[in-house]
Amino acid sequence: MTINWYPGHMVKARRDIEENLKLVDIVLMLVDARAPLSCRNPDLEHLARHKKIILILNKNDLADPNATRSFLGILHAEGLNAVAVNSVKGQGVREVVEVIQKAYESQRQDLLRRGRRIRPVRLMVTGVPNVGKSTFLNSLVGKKMARTGPRPGLTRGKQWIRVREDMELMDTPGLLWPKIESEEQGLKLALLNIIGENAYEEYEVALYLLKVLRQQAPQIFQSYYKLEQTTEDDEQLLKEISVKRGHLVKGGQPDPEKTARQMISDFRAGNLGRITLDLMP
Ligand SMILES: Nc1nc2c(ncn2[C@@H]2O[C@H](COP(=O)(O)OP(=O)(O)O)[C@@H](O)[C@H]2O)c(=O)[nH]1
Ligand SMILES: [Mg+2]
């Protein structure tokens, strides 16, 4: 399968991020907790190498908790800041705030020592499409601020949004694109709704999903689709699910394309359990 995903604005986006990075203290890099490795872009992380980075494993509620724990363990062991978050519920956001404050502390002390005004920490949020940047931002906005809505920072006009008393956020999020290095990675990103739906075949993504389900969640999968036993043949299996679900074309034949779309949306909604697609390195 070929993933046709070459955003024409990539070069400009990269340049914008490079410029904007100069203005921030800390970069909050959002990745999908179900594929923390596949969502990253090493080139862009290289651009941000002189900044403090906090990796946020978002959509933690949809990922396998054991896998998330292992990923966090590895990242922490490498000395990276990493926090698992559910932005919809605001879970983990307080920890992010604490990690930000801790990461800014040395700069704050430095300002104090030099008799300079303590200014709010300046943040940039980056991540691939649909990873939850906007949702995360809303959850970061302090309660008090939420009532009045984010307001422009006092210092730099429209460019900054004061999200909390002690934090300003660049108003244009750094939109990253994943670096797609293998067919499997492309399939993962398609399944996670990170690459546009015109760039992949749902049927092929569903076949990949079936493979993942067989390995990771055979029971949930079998009971969710009410399958008594499963064949080894995934194309056949897709047809069986079509029949069970009443996904039929005129004439009563199974409509596996429709089933493919349904299964992908079941996965995305978490109906098939908490499944992490990336394996530990
Ligand atoms: N289950 C779950 N869904 C989330 C989470 N964060 C964001 N979403 C959903 O993911 C979709 C994309 O979120 P959005 O904030 O628009 O992503 P953006 O493109 O990075 O700004 C929306 O449907 C959100 O409701 C999360 O932590 N858990
Ligand atoms: Mg957004």
pLDDT reading at 75 higher than 70: yes
- Write down the architecture of domain 201-269 according to CATH: Orthogonal Bundle (1.10)
Q: Read off the pLDDT of residues 217-230 as tens digits, 9 standing for 90 and up.
A: 989 989 999 988 77
Is there an atom of ligand 1 within 6 Å of 87 CB? yes
Give me the sign of the Cα torsion angle 155, 157, 160, 163. Answer: positive
**Domain spans in the chain, listed from the N-terminal domain onward:** 10-175, 201-269
**Contact between 216 and 227 (Cβ < 8 Å):** no
Residue 142: predicted pLDDT: 62
**Protein residue with its CA nearest to atom 1 in ligand 1:** 59
Cα atoms in the 13 Å half-sphere on the side-chain side of 136: 32
Output the CA–CA distances (angstroms, integers) from residue 150 to 121, 153, 154, 163, 236, in the order listed: 16, 9, 12, 6, 52
Whole-number Å distance, alpha carbon 87 to ligand 1 midpoint, is: 7
Q: Which residues pair with 32 in a beta bridge?
A: 58
> What average pLDDT score do residues 186-208 get?
94
pLDDT reading at 240 higher than 80: yes
Cα atoms in the 13 Å half-sphere on the side-chain side of 82: 21
Which CATH superfamily is 10-175 part of? P-loop containing nucleotide triphosphate hydrolases (3.40.50.300)
Q: What's the pTM? A: 0.91
Q: Which token pair is 140?
A: 């970061």
The CB density around residue 178, as the number of other CB atoms within 10 Å, is 26
Collapse the DSSP code of 264 into the 3-class scheme (helix H, G, I; strand E, B; otherwise coil) and give the result. Answer: helix
The CB density around residue 208, as the number of other CB atoms within 10 Å, is 22
**Contact between 277 and 35 (Cβ < 8 Å):** yes
The CB density around residue 43, as the number of other CB atoms within 10 Å, is 11
Query: Which mutation among 88, 131, 135 tests ligand 1's pocket best, with the greatest number of atoms within 8 A of CB?
Result: 135
Cα gap 91→85, rounded to integer Å: 6
What one-character DSSP code corresponds to residue 200? S
pLDDT reading at 259 higher than 50: yes
